[in-house]
Structure 1
Amino acid sequence: MSAGPDSAVYGRPPPELADPPEGAVQLSPLIPGSEALEAIAPGTLSDLAVLAPPGTVERRFTLALALRALAADGALTVLAPKEKGGSRLARELAGFGCAVEETAKRHHRVCRTRRPARPDGLDAALAEGAPRRLDDLGLWSQPGVFSWNRIDPGTALLLENLPALAGRGADLGCGIGVLAKAVLAAPKVTALALVDIDRRAVEAARRNVEDPRASFAWADLREAGAVPERLDFVVMNPPFHDGGAEDRALGQGFVRRAAASLRPGGTLWLTANAHLPYEAVLDESFRQVTPRASERGYKVFEAKK
C-alpha cells in the first residue's frame, strides 16, 4: 500500500499492532531527520499512527498535536504499553472528544479513533507540553526531555568534580546544555560539539548555550560521523534507557564512541548511576581509568586514552 504525503507515523510502533502505509512521514523527535509534528499544518493529515510516550504531559501534548494535524474525520491510531501510559490512552482521547475503539494485544493498548470536528482541550494540552523557560534554572526546556525540569543528580556530581578543560571537545547526550555551559566557562576550550538524539533537547540547548564555540547536532551518536574526531575531551552523562526499557549496552556504546572520537591522550569525563557496569568497557577502551567521585547513588570517572 502506498502512502501520500498526508500519512504519517510518530515513533516506531510494533508493525503487528499498527502498520503505517509505506512512505508514511516520520514525526518522532527521537529519530534524527524526522519531520516535526509541531510543524505540520493543521488539518492536513488523513491518517496518523502514534506510539505514545510514557510521560503524561508529553503524551497529552503529542495527542493534541496529532489531533490538530489531522483533517476532520482523519484516522488516528495510538498505542502504548499498558504500564507506560497505555491504560490511560482511551480516557485521554475521550477527554479530547474522540469516540475510541480500544483493543489489548501483546501488553499494549491500541486505540483507534477519528478526529472530531471540534476537539476539546487542545489549547490547554499544547500549552502544558510546550517549550518553556524554567525560571529557577534560567534554562529553556520541555516536558519529555531527559530531566527536563531539574539538574540530574549525576550531572550535578560531575559538575562538582569537573576541572577546567581545554581544546576541542564534545558533550555526548547533551540534553538542554547544562554540562555544556559549565564546560564553556573555561576560556581554554576552543570548540564544543553538543550532540543529542532528542530534537527538543538540541533546540533547547541552542537557546541555552549562546557561545560561538558551540555547535549543535541532532544525531544518533551510534551512527558513523555523528561525533567529530581527534577531540581533546568528551563529557557525558550517558542514557541507559531505550524506549523506556533499561539498556546497559546503550551507555557502553557511548563509552566506545567517546574513545573512538578522542585523540591519543584525550580525556573522557563520565558520570553514571552507581549500579551501571561501565568499568569493564572503560578499562578496555582507555589506558588509564580513575574514579573521581562516588556518592548519592552516582559515580564519576576520568578516563585517558
Structure 2
Amino acid sequence: MMPASPIPDAVYGSPPAELADVSAHAAQLSPLIPGSVRLEDIAEGSLESVTMLAPAGTIERRYVLSLSLRALRPGGRLRALAPKDKGGARLGRELKEFGCEPAETAKRHHRICDVARPAAIVALDEVIQEGAPRHIDNLALCTQPGVFSWDRLDPGTALLLANLPSLSGRGADFGCGIGVLARAVLASQGVTALTLIDIDRRAVEMARRNVGDPRADIRWADIRSADVTLERLDFVVMNPPFHDGGIEDRFLGEVFIRRAAETLRPGGTLWLTANAHLPYEAPLKAAFKAVTLKASAGGYKIYEARK
C-alpha cells in the first residue's frame, strides 16, 4: 500500500517500547501487519528515521536493512535492534558492510544499533536482489525469503497433500502461504470458490502470482480478526502457524480451529496438518462433532474434523 502523502518517520515491526521510542505517527512497514506500507515502495531518501525490530532470518534481515537505508535521506537515523540470539549479534557487522558506522549498545538481551545513513551505501543492489521475490525450480513457484518455508515444501503440507481428498463447493485456505495447498485444492473442478488468507503480505503477493485461478480470492488479513463475509463454507484447509514473532504460541492454532468452525456450514469439513506435539485434539473436539486422525508420519498429523 503506497502512503497517501510523504512520511517522515517509520517503524518496522513492534520494537519493545523500553528499547525504542517510536512516534505515534510513524508509518508501519512490516509485511506481517495488514495495512502497512510497502517498504519497497518508499522513495529513496524520503524518510527522516526508521526504527526496526530486525527479522531473525539473515537474508530477510539484510534485505530490510538495505531497503530502510535506501529510504532514509543522507544523515537520516536508523535504530535497528534484535535479540542477541535472533540476529542481534550480527547487526553491527551487517551495517558496517553497507558502509555505516553503527553505535552499538546492549539491553534486555537485545543488541541495539544506531546509525546515520551515509551518503553512499555499499552493496545495496546486490542485497536487495538477494532478498527479492524469485521463481525457484524445486517448488516451480514464485516465492520470497522471509515467507514461511519459502524455499522448500514443508513436510506438514506435503503430508496433507498426500492425504487430501478431492474437495467441492466453497472453501478457504487459512494461512495460505505462497499458495501450494490452494493449487492442489483448485485442481478439483468441484471447487466453486476458494478464499486464501494470510497475515504475510509477501506470501499474499506470491500467492497472487502462483494461483492464477478465477475461483480464488486472495486476501491479506489476520485470521484472528473476525471476517463476517466468510460463512457457511463447505470446507477449510490449513497448516496453522504456531509461532508469533519467533516465539512458540500454541494458542494461534486454536484460534485458527475456532475460526474454521465459525465459518463452516453444518456438515462442513476442516482438513488440518500440524506438528504431532501440538495439543490440538481437545480444541478440535470442542469445536466439531466428529474428529478423525487421517495420517501420522514424520512428526506430523493430519485431521479431518466435521462440523
TM range (shorter): over 0.9
Are positions 1:261 and 2:225 aligned together? no
Segments of 5+ residues of structure 2 without an aligned counterpart are: 1-5
Alignment match of 2:132 (pick from 130, 133, 143): 130
Are positions 1:225 and 2:265 aligned together? no
Alignment match of 1:151 (pick from 150, 153, 161): 153
What do you get for the CA RMSD once the two structures are aligned?
A: 0.9
More displaced 10-residue stretch of structure 1: 128-137 or 220-229: 220-229
Report how far residue 226 of structure 1 moved.
7.0
SS at the partner of 1:67?
helix
Written as runs of structure 1 = structure 2, the 5 A alignment for 1:1-305 is 5-225=7-227, 228-305=230-307
Deviations 1:186-235 (A, max 9, x none): 00000000000000000000000000000010000101227611100000
More displaced 10-residue stretch of structure 1: 248-257 or 224-233: 224-233
Assess if the C-alpha contact under 8 Å between 1:6 and 1:46 holds in 2.
yes
Q: 1:226 and 1:173, CA in 2 relative to 1: closer, same or farther beyond 3 A?
A: farther
SS at the partner of 2:105?
strand
User: What letter corresponds to residue 146 of structure 1 in structure 2?
Assistant: F
Identity in percent = 66
Structure-2 separation of matches of 1:242 and 1:158: 23
Structure-1 separation of matches of 2:153 and 2:228: 25
Assess if the C-alpha contact under 8 Å between 1:219 and 1:226 holds in 2.
no
Assess if the C-alpha contact under 8 Å between 2:7 and 2:46 holds in 1.
no
Structure-2 separation of matches of 1:246 and 1:87: 22
Structure-2 separation of matches of 1:79 and 1:270: 36
Structure-1 separation of matches of 2:72 and 2:227: 36
User: What letter corresponds to residue 197 of structure 1 in structure 2?
Assistant: I
Structure-2 separation of matches of 1:304 and 1:274: 20
Structure 1 consecutive aligned stretches of length 4 or more whose deviation exceeds 3 Å: none
Structure-2 separation of matches of 1:40 and 1:230: 40
Deviations 1:129-170 (A, max 9, x none): 000011222100000000001111000000000000000000
SS at the partner of 1:38?
helix
Assess if the C-alpha contact under 8 Å between 1:221 and 1:227 holds in 2.
no
User: What letter corresponds to residue 106 of structure 2 in structure 1?
Assistant: A
User: What letter corresponds to residue 180 of structure 1 in structure 2?
Assistant: A
Q: 1:244 and 1:227, CA in 2 relative to 1: closer, same or farther beyond 3 A?
A: farther
Report how far residue 22 of structure 1 moved.
1.7
Structure-2 separation of matches of 1:91 and 1:211: 44
The number of residues matched between the two structures is: 302
Structure-2 separation of matches of 1:227 and 1:275: 33
Structure-1 separation of matches of 2:42 and 2:236: 36
Structure-1 separation of matches of 2:247 and 2:223: 19
Segments of 5+ residues of structure 1 without an aligned counterpart are: none
